[in-house]
Every structure is written in structure tokens, then in C-alpha cells.
Amino acid sequence: MTPSRRTRGSSHGSRWSPRLRPTTGRGLREGRRRTTAGIDEDDRLKLQQQVCFTLAVASREVVSLYRPLLAPLGLTHPQYLVMVTLWGAGGPISIKELSRLLKLETPTSSPLLKRLQSAGLVERQRDPADERSLQVSLTERGRELRVQAAGVPAAVIDRLGVSLRELESLQPDELLCG
């Protein structure tokens, strides 16, 4: 299956659609029906035809590029994403907002934050405006870690072997704009 790309100008906004392969007559002569996406109907349930499988493998491969870069920082990839979000927040942020930005369920973010707090990188405190809400902020050590992490994005892009423009074209507009 070929990589997915967002369909620009579609009524679906930032939805992704697969880049379609041209349908050839080869399968028709063999008596097999072909779909408009150029996939034999009988092949739809093969593992390699599953979008979820393709994306899962790609995700694991990209995360594996980060591991050697994040290990010296003492971070896992999910912890790195939390830190990147906090570095960009400019101040305390609610756990609910952090979870929304990272597209995580709040119960998933809590163990990440506990580990980061144990490492001395973040603090969790009650929101003074709403005692029911917890906020997360960087410690001095967490702010200093940003300097050490500054080279990670360029190193990953270099290891991927693609240009920044190509990577940006793969991101949904909602991620690029806000």
C-alpha cells in the first residue's frame, strides 16, 4: 500500500485518503474484480492492505529513531512529547488541556506526569482558580532540558532522509495551524 496523503480541497477538511494506485486491466483479464483503489477485492483482508498496520509499523519505526536521541536526556518518546508541549505552553497548563493537545486520555497522561515529576522535570499543583483542576508546569531543570533537546528534531529529520517540507505535507492542517 502506498503512503497516505490528505486530500486538499475536499469537503472532509483534514481527513486523510490513500494515494490511489492506477487500476490496470491485468486483474480483469484474470477474472478478478478490482476496486476503484486498485486493490483486488480478495486482497482487502491481507495484513499488508490494512491502513492501521501500515501506520502502526511506520509509527514504531519513527519512534525507534528517537530512542537513541532521547536516552541521554532520560526521556521516553511519550515523555518527550509531554515536555515539548510544556516547553511551548509558556506557563502552567491544565492536565486536561495537556491531554487534549497530546490526543491522550487523561488517565494515560497521569503516569507520564508522575514519572516526569519524580525526575524533577515538572510540578503538578492545584489550579488556584479551580481547586478541582490540576496544572502542570516545568521546573527549572525541565526548562534547562530544552537546551539539551534542541537538536533532536533536526537529527530525526536527518535520519528519516526527507525534507522538512515533505514532512509538513504529511501533517493534517489542524496540527499545523493550532
Rounded to the nearest 5 degrees, what angle is found at the Cα of 119, between the Cα atoms of 117 and 125? 15
Residue 122 has pLDDT above 50, yes or no: yes
Q: What residue spans define the domains of the chain?
A: 66-162
Cα dihedral 155, 156, 162, 167 sign: negative
Q: Which is more confidently placed, 176 or 64?
A: 64
Higher-pLDDT residue of 140 and 14 is 140
Is residue 28 within 8 Å of residue 34, measured between CB atoms?
Answer: yes
**Which pLDDT band, with edges at 50, 70 and 90, does 36 fall under?**
low
Question: What residues contact 84, with CB distance under 8 A and at least 6 apart?
Answer: 149
Separation between Cα atoms, residue 59 and residue 22, nearest integer Å: 27
Q: What average pLDDT does the segment 88-99 reach?
A: 93
CB atoms within 10 A of CB 50: 13
The pLDDT score that the predictor gives to residue 35 is: 60
Q: Is the pLDDT of residue 23 over 50?
A: no
For the ranges 14-18, 50-54, 71-75, 137-141, the lowest mean pLDDT is seen at 14-18
Three-state DSSP at 135 gives: strand
Mean pLDDT of the residues in the chain: 80
pLDDT-derived band of residue 24, with 50, 70 and 90 as boundaries? very low
Give the percent of the chain with pLDDT over 90. 52
The pLDDT value given to residue 29: 47
Class of domain 66-162: mainly alpha
Mean pLDDT confidence for 51-55 = 91
8-state DSSP, 47: G
